[in-house]
Structure 1
Amino acid sequence: MMVVMRNEQEHSESEGSRAKKKKKHDGTSRPACSWVHFSREFIKEYTASHPESSGLKAATKAASDAWKLMSPEEKAKYTNRAREVWDKYLSTTPARVPKPRRQTKLVTRCSPGRLLNVLQRLTPDQKAAVKSMGFGSILNLRCRTLRRSLCLWLLEKFNTVRRSLEICGERIPLTPRDVELVMGLASNGKDVVNSGPDELIAELRKKYNATNRGISVRLLEERLAVPEAGDDFKRSFLLYVLGTLLCPTAREVARYRQGKQRAVGGCLLFLQLFYYESVAVGEPSELSPAIFPCLASWGEEEISEREKQERELGGYGCGEENMPMSGSEGNAVCVDIEIADPVRAPCRNAQYGCAEIVDYTKRKEHEEVCLCAPCACPIRKCHFVGSSTQLSEHFSSKHWDSGRRFQYNSPLPITLNKNETFLVLQAEKDGILFLLNKGTESIGHTVMITCISPSSSKEQYLYDIVSERGNSCLRLKSYTNNYPGRVEGSPPVDFLLVPFGFLNPTGKLDLEMCIWNSTDIGAD
C-alpha cells in the first residue's frame, strides 16, 4: 500500500513538474506565424472530413498544398491574426537581453611565428629597405608563439570604451605611445592617404590578385621570397606585416566578447608584451635599463620563464603594476633606455624632397631644423603645400601674374591698393618668395617684409623700405624673418609705420623697396 501511494505521489509530482514546465514554456514561447494558424485550422477540418487518411503527415501535406494555392487576399485573414498575436506578445513580454557568449577558444590571424620565418630569410638589402620605411623595429622580433590562455584572459579584462586593461585592481590605459615603446613603431607622422587614381588601384589589385576577401598571405610570402629590395618588396612587406601582426581594433575585441565573431583581428602580440612590461612578478630586483623597443627583449625563453612565474603566483593578474610605460599627464617617467638596434627612419618631410634617413631617437631633432619643412602658398584659396623650392616652382607656373618679380640689390617702386594687405615678391635670380605685408593701425599702416621659408632656416636677407611725402621721408632697414606662409596678425618683427597722411590722393600707399641677397649683406 505504501509503495502504491509513493508511486502515485511520485507520478503526481512528475505530472506537476511537467505541467509547470509546459506552462512556463507556453508563457515564453514566441507567437506562431500565419502558416501555423492556417495549418492548425485546416488539419482539424481535414481530419474530421477524411477519417480514412493515414494521419498527421498526410494532413500536413494537404495543408501545405492548399496554402500554396491560396491568394494573398485569402492569406490575409491568417496574416492579420498572426500580427495581432505578435503585437500583443511584444507589448507584454519584457525585452530579452542577450547574454554574451563566453569564448573558450581563441582564433586569430596574428601569427608572429609566420612573420619570424619570413624575417629570417631576408637579405641584407631587404633589411635595409625595411629600415628605410621606418619598420626596422620589426626585425627585432624574437617571439614565435602567442600565449593564448593569456590573450583570452586579457581580452576579458580589456575595456573597449576606455581603451584600457583593468587588471591588478588598476585601470592601465593603452596609448599610441605604448605601441611605440613596445613595438618600436612611430606614434606620429604623416596620415595615410587611402585613395588614388582608379587606374593605379586597379593595376595593384590585379598585381596582388586582390578580391573582396583581401590578399592571399601565401602569395605575399612567395613575393617576399624573391631576393629584390625595390618598391615591390616594400609594398609586399608592409602588406604582409599588416596581415600577420599589426592593425589592432577595439571594435573587433568588443564583437568577440559579445560572441558575434569567433576570430580576433589585431595585434594580440602587443597586448601580450604590454602586459609583461606593465605587471611585475617575482622578487624585486635592481632597476635595469629598459630595452627599446620592448619587442626585442621577449624571446621564447624569457616568455616561458615569465609564464612559470605567473603559475607560481597563482595565475595571471597576481603581480604588481609597474610604473606606466608612457607616463601620465604632467608626470615625466625617467628610465634608462637601451636601444636594441638603432631604428632608422625617413624624415617626415620626405615627400617634400628631404632624403635624410636618421636614427629614430634623433628624428625629432632633425625635423625641427629640416630645410624641406613644408611651406604654404600665400595665394588665398590655393591649398598647395611643399618645400620652399617646390613652392617657388608652383608659384612661377600657377600664379606668375599674382605677384611682382624683382632683382636683388635694385630699388623697386611699389603701390599697394587701399584693401591690399600683402604682395608676393619673387626674386628673378633664385625664385625665393617674399611677402610685403601691410597692416592697419589707428594712425597709419604697418609695413614689413618676410621670407617664405621654414622657420628653422637661418638664412636672412637685408631689406630697405622707403615712404616719401614731399620733403619728408620714412625709412626702415632690417632683416627678413622666416615664415612658412602668410603672416597673420602682428608678428614680433621690425616694421615701418606709415601715417595715413603719407597716402597718395587716391588712398594708395606708394613705397620703394630693395632686398639684398644673403651674399651681399652689409652693402648699402
Structure 2
Amino acid sequence: MAEQARADFATKLSLRKFMATAQRVTLDQRQLARSMGLDHLLDLKCDTLPRGVVHYLASNFDVPSRAIELPNGFKFTITPYCIHQVLGIPLGGRTIEKKQNPALRSLIAQQKKCKGNYPTINELDNLIQPGLDGDSFKRIFTMYALTVLLCPSSHGAASPDYYHILEDPEQIGSFDFCTAVLDKLVASIDSYKAGATTVLGGDLLTLTIIYFEFLDTDIMPVTSKRPRISVWTSEIVAEYERRDCTSSDKLLYGRLPTKRVSETPFGQINRQPKVTLGASYDELLQFTLSIVPEENHQMVLDELPKIMHSMQSELFDSMQNRLRRFLVVATPACK
C-alpha cells in the first residue's frame, strides 16, 4: 500500500491543456514559434501521462549518471541529444542559467496583468489568442511551454528563473533548451527520490518516450520521422504501457525485449551522413553529433556555436572585400 501511494505523485505537466492551446494557434503564430525552434511542440499527440511507467522509471533512475537502470538489465544514459530527438527544440547554444532579473520580473507581471507575482498556467493560456503576435506571442508562448510542458514545477506558474531568456525575443531560439529540460527533469527526480517532495516536475512524457523507443514491438508504425513527438499518440503510448507491464497494479514494467541503441533515434546514424550548403544550424548540429562519439557530444554543444560565429565573421569580412568592386562608380572618360 505504501508503494501504491508513492505512485500517486503530483505533477503540473499539463498535456491535455497544451494540446488544446496548440489547436488554436494560428499559422502566423506557428511561424513565430518556428523562429524560436519551438514549433514542433505544437505537434504533441499524447494527452495522457502513463503514471505507472513514469513512477517506475523515476524509481529506477540513477541521478549521478543520468541513466535509466532497470532490474531487467536495461541501462541507458539520457543526454540533451535524446531530448532533441523527441521534442525538436534547440540543442546547443547559450546556457539557460537559473537566474532572476527583478526588473524583467516586475515588467512581465505588469504587462501580463497577473494576479500574483508570476503568471499562472491559466493566465498564460488565456493570453494565447489569435490576436497575439510579435514579441508578445514569443514571450508568452515560451513561458507557457516551459511552465506546462518542458520544465513544469510544483508551483503551476511561470518560473522567474527563466525570465532572462525573454529579454530579447529575437534571441530566444539561441538558447540551449534541451539541456535545460534535462537538468530540470533530473533535479526533479532527485528531489522526489530523496523524499523531499511528492511532486515530480520536469518533462515526464519525454522520459517515457525515450524508454518506449527502446522496446521491441510491432505497435509503432515504421517511420524515421524526427522529432518523435508527433508519432507518439495517446493510443500508442497506452498500448506500450499495457504490453510492457508485469504486474496487476501497474507498478512494475520491463516485460518487452529491448532494441540496440543503434536501432533507436538516439544512436549514431548508420547510413552515410551528409550535410549540404544551406543547411540550417539544427541540421549541422545533428550531423556533427551523429559522427562523433557520445562522450564528446557536450564538447560539440559547447564549441559548435563558437565555431559558427567565427566562421560567419570571417565570411562576412571576405564578402565585404569582394563586394567592394561592385560599389565603385565608374568615372566617365574625358572627351
Note the aligned Cα RMSD (angstroms). 4.1
- Matching of residues 150-299 of structure 1 within 5 Å: 150-167=53-70, 168-192=72-96, 199-209=103-113, 214-247=118-151, 248-281=184-217, 288-299=222-233
Match of 2:314 among 454, 458, 464: 454
Partner of 2:86: helix, strand, or coil? helix
- Whether contact under 8 Å (2:85, 2:266) holds in the other structure is no
Structure 1 residues 320 and 455 mapped into 2: Cα distance closer, same or farther (>3 Å)? farther
Identity of aligned residues (%): 22
The aligned residue for residue 11 of structure 1 is none
Match of 1:308 among 242, 245, 258: 242
After superposition, give the CA deviation of every residue in 1:202-231 in whole Å (9 maximum; x if it has no partner).
222322356887421111011112522221
Partner of 1:264: helix, strand, or coil? coil
Structure 1 residues 517 and 293 mapped into 2: Cα distance closer, same or farther (>3 Å)? closer
1:147 aligns with 2:83: no
Match of 1:333 among 269, 277, 286: 269
TM-score (norm. length: structure 1): 0.44
- Distance in 1, matches of 2:29 and 2:87, equals 20
Structure 1 residues 262 and 135 mapped into 2: Cα distance closer, same or farther (>3 Å)? same
The aligned residue for residue 260 of structure 2 is 323
Structure with bigger strand share is 1
The aligned residue for residue 13 of structure 1 is none
TM-score (norm. length: structure 2): 0.66
Q: Which runs of 5+ in 2 are unaligned?
A: 152-183, 288-304, 328-335
- Whether contact under 8 Å (2:91, 2:282) holds in the other structure is no
Structure 1 residues 101 and 308 mapped into 2: Cα distance closer, same or farther (>3 Å)? closer
Q: Which runs of 5+ in 1 are unaligned?
A: 1-99, 338-355, 377-386, 388-452, 463-515
Q: CA deviation at 1:306?
A: 2.0
- Whether contact under 8 Å (1:282, 1:309) holds in the other structure is no
Q: CA deviation at 1:267?
A: 0.4
- Distance in 2, matches of 1:197 and 1:243, equals 18
- Whether contact under 8 Å (1:102, 1:257) holds in the other structure is no
Structure 1 residues 210 and 193 mapped into 2: Cα distance closer, same or farther (>3 Å)? farther
Match of 2:40 among 120, 134, 137: 137
After superposition, give the CA deviation of every residue in 1:383-411 in whole Å (9 maximum; x if it has no partner).
xxxx8xxxxxxxxxxxxxxxxxxxxxxxx
Partner of 2:253: helix, strand, or coil? coil
Q: CA deviation at 1:129?
A: 1.2
- Distance in 1, matches of 2:101 and 2:239, equals 51
- Whether contact under 8 Å (1:255, 1:261) holds in the other structure is yes
Number of positions where the alignment pairs a residue of Structure 1 with one of Structure 2: 266
- Whether contact under 8 Å (1:281, 1:309) holds in the other structure is no
Structure 1 residues 126 and 189 mapped into 2: Cα distance closer, same or farther (>3 Å)? same
After superposition, give the CA deviation of every residue in 1:55-86 in whole Å (9 maximum; x if it has no partner).
xxxxxxxxxxxxxxxxxxxxxxxxxxxxxxxx
Q: CA deviation at 1:155?
A: 0.8
Bigger radius of gyration: 1
Q: CA deviation at 1:265?
A: 1.0
